[in-house]
Structure 1
Amino acid sequence: AAEIAQCLAATLSPDTNTRIAAELKISELSAHPEAGVALSQIVSSQDSDLALRQMSLLHRHSASIVLRKYVKERWSPFFSQFRGSAPPPEIKSQIRQAVFQGLSDPLRKIRSLSASCITSSPFKKHGLCAVTLSLIANCDWPEEYPDLLSSLIGLLSSQSTDSVHGAMQVFVEFVKADLTEDQLLPVLRQLLPVLLNVLGATDQHSPLTRSRTIAVFNQCIDALFMVKDSYPQAVKEATASVLPVWLDAFKVLLAIDPKQDVENTPNWDGLIVRAQVFKTLEVIHKSFPKVLAPYLPDFLNASLHHLNSLFPTFSQSYITSQLPVPMTSEDDTFDLVQLVIPLLDFVSSVARGGKAKQWFDSNTIAALTSEVMKWVQMTSDDEEEWATNANTFIAQDSDESAPYSTRAAGFELIAMLLERYPKSLGTTFQSLIQQIIAESQQARDAGNDSWWKSLEAVLAALGSLSEPILDFIEDEEVSGRPKPIDIPTLLTSVVPSLLGLSQFPFLQGRGFVFASQYAKLLPPQLVGQYLEAAVQVVEAPDAGIPVKISAIKSIYNFFDAAQGSEFVNIAPRIAQDIGPFLLVTTEDTLSLVLDTLSVVVETDKAKWVNANLASSLVGAILEVWTKFNKDPILLSILTDILASLAGSPSPGVYQTVVTQALPPLSQAIAPSNETWIASAAIELITSLVRGAPDSGLGDGFFSTLAPNLFQSLKTAEDRDIIQNGISCLTLVIRKDFDQLRTWTNPSTNETGLDSVLAVVAKQLQAEDESGGLVIGDLIIHLFRKAGEAVLPVLPGLLQAMVARMPNVSTATFAQSLIVPFAFLIHNGQRDTVLSLLETTNINGRNGLDILINAWCENMETFQGFWATRISTLALCSLYVSERPSLQNLVVKGDLIFKAETSNVIMTRSRTKKIPTEFTSIPFPVKALKLLLHDLQSGGEAAAMGLGDGGLSDVASDDGDDDWDDDERKHQGFKEEEFQFLSDMLGPRGVAFDNDEALDINDNDDEDLKADPISQIDLKEHLFTFFRECASRNTGNFSAVVDQLTADEILVVRRVVSGEQ
């Protein structure tokens, strides 16, 4: 112990060599079991020098603790960092005892010295002894440390505030990490009453210690929810007996005026208790909403009171910064927003759930909205940071990257109120806007420097809700009702006066953004005026960051909402203005500039772009890519811009873009260790191909690209290079197959077609199936474009594809191999293909057997509108062929249901014991099943009354209790929403397989969308197929139908009889 102490003292030396030597010596001594005892004794000794006791716990950095390091490296093989042999049990016992003793140390710096402050939350602070004991408990409890839990509960039950504080820090992590399902319920029965006693002992324990009891209780709720399905009755009894007691305690805590925690107090520790209450209430609401429901009105009233009561403090300490924010009693920071955010989240959650509808009447919504609008104002810290940091300013106003703040939480609550109670909120907002406009003017006249903040906040809130508000306004007007919120008056009478307030740049900028968010409501002449003003700000050299960024964002919004070519006259000027920003911006700012440039160059298909402008923009784009070629978001925008520029029909633009971009990008494809560069370069080249005119890629395009592209695909193992490279090749085949066909590699004399087939062969042989769906697209378009050129190699290619099928592990790769066969079968090559496969032998299996089994097993997972259609059409063709080899094939049928698996969740272990089994059925039967599934999944069976299966009345624990009567009738949707889905999905409206109409699975390219297959009325085709098969008894149709299920037979009969 003495030697360890000397070394620890030496680590305090200002001499570097002395410190390093001491640290090395400690590491050497740690190999001996006695070192752990010595360290733990120094930690727990109350006689040692405080600085030395602290230093014994620190190693190099505050996060590296000598004793903790010893436990991780020397305690047990349980730890991944373990090395050497573990200390004997008696040594471990001594260390555990000493560390446990440290939990009651009178010095908080020993109990609560920061180990690793990951966030500003005070609950990330754990005592050094608590950290070490948690590690030991994680390893030893309960087998080697059986008395830990009772000992910790003993500390909680003691009269010592130090002991309670130390034990609480262990429990914060203990419940979360170390309790199994079987241990949880017994532990909670002992623990929760003790925690509740500590929470209620306001005179004995500090607010921070009491807040930790709620944090532990919060973890208990999470843990109970996790085991709810395994122990439903026990959890139900536990929640019924435990939750009401705690909820009553929370009611008492929140009923106390929060002002007493912020006025005339040295710290705001009391607010931390309240913050933990609101966090826990939200967890309870999500986990056990039925228990919480009777308490919701009280907690919602308390929430509203807290917002009202604490706002003056928020205003003075944050909006105007007249008063400082105090540190906690543990010298940590606690911002008021750390209470308000969970409060707002809780209210949002309740509003969403619908269990307190009576509380959300017009009066409370008005009061709540009014309070929230106060809290979402900009703070002085916001002003200071946003004025100088463009990226932060953009991020706070973005749906995707906004940091979660009071403003974000407030806007989310307002959005939820608009969704659930639109009429009440609309009325509230209209009167609130008028009130804020009047009050802000009064404050301005009175000389209040912050007069503009409330007006900026309400405009920001309305702007964040522009889409639902516009929809709401449209719905009301269609119904003949007045506009619930008078946005047009704001746009014409209020916002224009804000655009010149350069001394208030945030309000000025908000005016631009707000106007652009509601561009649809602006008269055309006013849109032009707003846009011109925004462009002038972008061009102004003295405009500050907030207003310049806001102007660019408004330009983006105006162009994004534009119809046709209305801004074509100003587009060249804007592109010229924005281009230079590409070279001087980064991160969110660069992303905004690129997004804006992207929508600008898309205007009128870039007909207005000339060669000079294209050249300057391409140069900037390449420079941006060179700097940020690892950023996938920026890369996706760059490819869009390049495609738009390449697609410009203006004379000389395409040639300029290709001449400037293709050579350096093709060079970047050359194989190297920096695979992301090659992958990104291929994406950018693909965008050039995409923008190429219908006449082709132009002379020399493919000869510049091909050598490095094929070499990269030949050697690449990187998935992105493979996928992007194959996609690029596919697009080249679609756009200019002749250029690929006539190209010959000067180094190998290999033709372009041979090189493509080599790429396909490599993917068929590879174990990694990352080529996935893209290799199938390549083969399909090769078949479509190559014609007779591919005939000499077609048999070998098809045999190689079918040989790969038995070892396929992913559905996308299976589709890539199967759909080309479907294409050939549907396009007049059925008998040729079947004859080839009948004579193909793959490891003793017939090629046709392999294809048909793979097809039947994977067809229902096929993706893409065209692919699913060609598969269905080819399957019809196979059935009507009546080929004997198909009639005799046996494939996987329906799932076999077993009594022992009925109403049982099938875990992995159960599946191993009781494996899933299927019937075996003839191919013709399976073919009809699959074709019927196409009808049923498309909604036809539902229209016939066969699609429900009686599942709509299945009972649920908490499921639809949150839905109102209208929503419950329509499975969680309101009637008009459900009707929309019915119109989209039903057979009487949009074609049932029309993925494009739903904007899902829209991964077909333009060629496939224009293919006649995509235009076929597939529903009518299937009806005709079934009726003709029935009338001609094709393939012994009646006997095949008899082998279907009862429901399937009923569908066939209705289809054949003409019922629709």
Structure 2
Amino acid sequence: MADARLVQCLLGTLDHMPNIRTEAEGLLAQMANGPGFGLELAKLVVNRDLPDQTRDGIKQLAAVVLKKFVKEHWQDGSPKFRPPEVSLEEKDAIKSLLPQGLGDPIGRIRTAVGMAISAISEYDWPDKWPELTSMLIGGIRERASIEKVHGSLKCLSLIASDIDEKQMPQVVPVLFPELYGIISTPEAYGKSMQRRALGVLHGCVAALGIMRGVYAKQTRELLAPYLPSFCQTLTQLVRAPTNLSDVTEVSIKLEAFRCLLVATQNFGKLLQGEMGGILAGSWEFYKTAAPMFEALAVYEDCGEDGDVDSDGDELNLEALISQMVEFLLTILGSSRFQHLIKPFGQDLVYTLMQYMQMTTAQEEMWMNDCDQYIADMEDDVMSARVSGEMLLDSMVDEFGSESLQLVWAATYQRLRESAQVKAAGNPAWWKIREAALLALGSVADKVQEAFPGKDMVLGAIDIPGFFDKLLTEDLGEVPTNPLTQAS
């Protein structure tokens, strides 16, 4: 039987009356100071006999409260510790019981359980909880239920980056074939599970990348049998046609780019035979996704409430585009691979301006708050706009004045298109114009470094003349092509 008093307190924290919520929260805080509180929460998480009308909410809330309890009471000396510390007997009981919740039929409960396990792992894993790794991998390999596989993957994705150098040689040969099977055959496992497997793969490769500094030979030998095959599959995922309004499909693309990014950053030598195909697939998505991104995010608001999947993850096109651009930035910064991106330079810059347009969500957020706009543009590296600026800046650093010519040419073309869109009566005509000027501004310091004098003539471009004509256009006259007006 569930602890009725604990259940009532948890329900009270959800009440719409502030006084009831406050009282319930106070009682929970008192109960947390007594023995057995964490274990009672764990029992609720795996309880199958709760009333149907409160079952899901109570189980999820119990897992969330348990995570907070672990942060505050699990280990003396931890940053958020508040006495008393949980006894060893209670810790062992919780660790024995809680993983059962990874097989819950409700996705958000599995996620909450995974987060609670992840909180415990920060203190006990692997030294005090060595069986956790084999238990999670076993949950995937045994396939006792699709829910258990999903929950084990979710939990592994949360802790994968913390697998240490002692565990990795045992984990990789067992886990990676299972991950590959899930990632390469979504028709058998489903897209949601495919995405979770990608998250685990990313965490493991990232952890191996950190170990690479000390164990360079060992990490390369561990990954060499697996990484090329994984990257071929990742390329297929990146290249595949995608419905950008589908949360799960966007998330899969995002995870695939994250995996390619961390593999390229840390193990590029292993990918020399694959990078041509990887970049071709990435470029195909880069070109085809631009008009879809514009339609969904720039002209509409793709962030409306309700754009979530069964696990509660939100649709985030901005993060996907930013991750894709960051991957291209990584290629550009690699002496081994940057020559592969140079032939795409002209189209890359032109299309990048389409991605750098202000989204509807950004427009609404910044409309009445200029300070927020400035702060986001300075600090928000996870945006297509900021990532685009970084990519352009890096292109000029690597390829010099040739890239400056590309930026100027693309800017003029986009400004001309903006004028055409304005003439057609589209109220969002200014967005591509603003993006083009933002892109141009991102390399302004490079222009000044290259041409410090007053007579700033860049090849066939008269820079002062360009800005004179830009001002004229804003005042109502259409400029001629500055590329033909060099002095």
TM over 0.5, shorter chain: yes
Q: What is the CA distance between 1:145 and its match in structure 2?
A: 3.4
One-letter code aligned to 2:83: R
- Is residue 5 of structure 1 aligned with residue 8 of structure 2? no
The correspondence for 2:464, drawn from 488, 494, 499, is: 488
- Is residue 309 of structure 1 aligned with residue 288 of structure 2? yes
Alpha carbons 1:11, 1:19 under 8 Å: kept: no
Q: What is the CA distance between 1:430 and its match in structure 2?
A: 4.5
Correspondence list, 1:387-402, <5 A: 387-395=367-375, 400-401=378-379
The correspondence for 2:183, drawn from 180, 195, 199, is: 199
**Cα shift readout 1:348-370 (whole Å, capped 9, x = no counterpart):** 121122323443345x2111112
Q: What is the CA distance between 1:30 and its match in structure 2?
A: 5.0
Alpha carbons 2:195, 2:255 under 8 Å: kept: yes
Q: What is the CA distance between 1:153 and its match in structure 2?
A: 0.6
The alignment partner of 1:230 has SS state of coil
Alpha carbons 2:9, 2:28 under 8 Å: kept: no
CA distance, structure 2, for counterparts of residue 289 and residue 359 of structure 1:
14
The correspondence for 2:316, drawn from 311, 314, 335, is: 335
Structure 1 match to 2:482: none
CA distance, structure 1, for counterparts of residue 437 and residue 334 of structure 2:
27
The alignment partner of 2:313 has SS state of coil
Structure 1 match to 2:244: 262
The correspondence for 1:318, drawn from 279, 297, 303, is: 297
CA distance, structure 2, for counterparts of residue 73 and residue 387 of structure 1:
41
- Give the TM-score taking structure 2 as reference length: 0.85
CA distance, structure 1, for counterparts of residue 432 and residue 342 of structure 2:
25
Structure 1 match to 2:168: 184
- Is residue 245 of structure 1 aligned with residue 245 of structure 2? no
Correspondence list, 1:803-842, <5 A: none
The correspondence for 2:43, drawn from 41, 44, 47, is: 41
**Cα shift readout 1:206-226 (whole Å, capped 9, x = no counterpart):** 434322322222222222222
The correspondence for 2:357, drawn from 373, 377, 394, is: 377
**Cα shift readout 1:126-162 (whole Å, capped 9, x = no counterpart):** x221122223334444455343222111112243331
CA distance, structure 2, for counterparts of residue 357 and residue 17 of structure 1:
62
CA distance, structure 1, for counterparts of residue 156 and residue 168 of structure 2:
13
The alignment partner of 1:448 has SS state of coil
Q: What is the CA distance between 1:39 and its match in structure 2?
A: 2.6
Tell me how large the CA RMSD over aligned residues is: 3.5
CA distance, structure 1, for counterparts of residue 26 and residue 302 of structure 2:
48
Structure 1 match to 2:348: 368
- The unaligned stretches of length 5 or more in structure 1 are 112-126, 502-520, 524-1060
One-letter code aligned to 1:374: Q
Correspondence list, 1:258-297, <5 A: 258=242, 261-262=243-244, 267-297=246-276
- Give the TM-score taking structure 1 as reference length: 0.41
The correspondence for 1:165, drawn from 150, 153, 163, is: 150
Correspondence list, 1:1033-1044, <5 A: none
Q: What is the CA distance between 1:457 and its match in structure 2?
A: 2.1
The alignment partner of 2:324 has SS state of helix
The structure, 1 or 2, with the larger RCO (C-alpha pairs under 8 Å, 6+ apart) is 2
Q: What is the CA distance between 1:466 and its match in structure 2?
A: 1.4
The correspondence for 1:54, drawn from 54, 57, 64, is: 57
The alignment partner of 1:327 has SS state of coil
Look at both structures and tell me which one has the larger radius of gyration over its CA atoms. 1
Structure 2 match to 1:956: none
One-letter code aligned to 2:117: L
The correspondence for 1:149, drawn from 125, 133, 146, is: 133
One-letter code aligned to 2:252: V
Structure 2 match to 1:727: none
**Cα shift readout 1:938-978 (whole Å, capped 9, x = no counterpart):** xxxxxxxxxxxxxxxxxxxxxxxxxxxxxxxxxxxxxxxxx
CA distance, structure 2, for counterparts of residue 23 and residue 474 of structure 1:
64
Structure 1 match to 2:446: 468
The alignment partner of 1:12 has SS state of helix
One-letter code aligned to 1:466: A
Correspondence list, 1:868-947, <5 A: none
Percent identity of the aligned residues? 24
Residues 1:130 and 1:340: Cα distance change in structure 2 (over 3 Å):
same
Q: What is the CA distance between 1:344 and its match in structure 2?
A: 0.7
Q: What is the CA distance between 1:31 and its match in structure 2?
A: 5.6
Residues 1:23 and 1:8: Cα distance change in structure 2 (over 3 Å):
farther
Residues 1:446 and 1:156: Cα distance change in structure 2 (over 3 Å):
same
CA distance, structure 2, for counterparts of residue 347 and residue 238 of structure 1:
26
Residues 1:18 and 1:243: Cα distance change in structure 2 (over 3 Å):
same
Q: What is the CA distance between 1:102 and its match in structure 2?
A: 0.5
One-letter code aligned to 2:184: G
The alignment partner of 1:449 has SS state of coil
Residues 1:446 and 1:86: Cα distance change in structure 2 (over 3 Å):
closer
CA distance, structure 2, for counterparts of residue 287 and residue 412 of structure 1:
20
Alpha carbons 2:407, 2:439 under 8 Å: kept: no
CA distance, structure 2, for counterparts of residue 165 and residue 133 of structure 1:
15
**Cα shift readout 1:233-268 (whole Å, capped 9, x = no counterpart):** 32221132232121122122123123xx336xxx33
The alignment partner of 2:352 has SS state of helix
Aligned residues: 473
Structure 1 match to 2:336: 355
Residues 1:498 and 1:42: Cα distance change in structure 2 (over 3 Å):
same
CA distance, structure 2, for counterparts of residue 144 and residue 311 of structure 1:
49
One-letter code aligned to 2:182: V
Alpha carbons 2:326, 2:387 under 8 Å: kept: yes
CA distance, structure 1, for counterparts of residue 20 and residue 430 of structure 2:
59
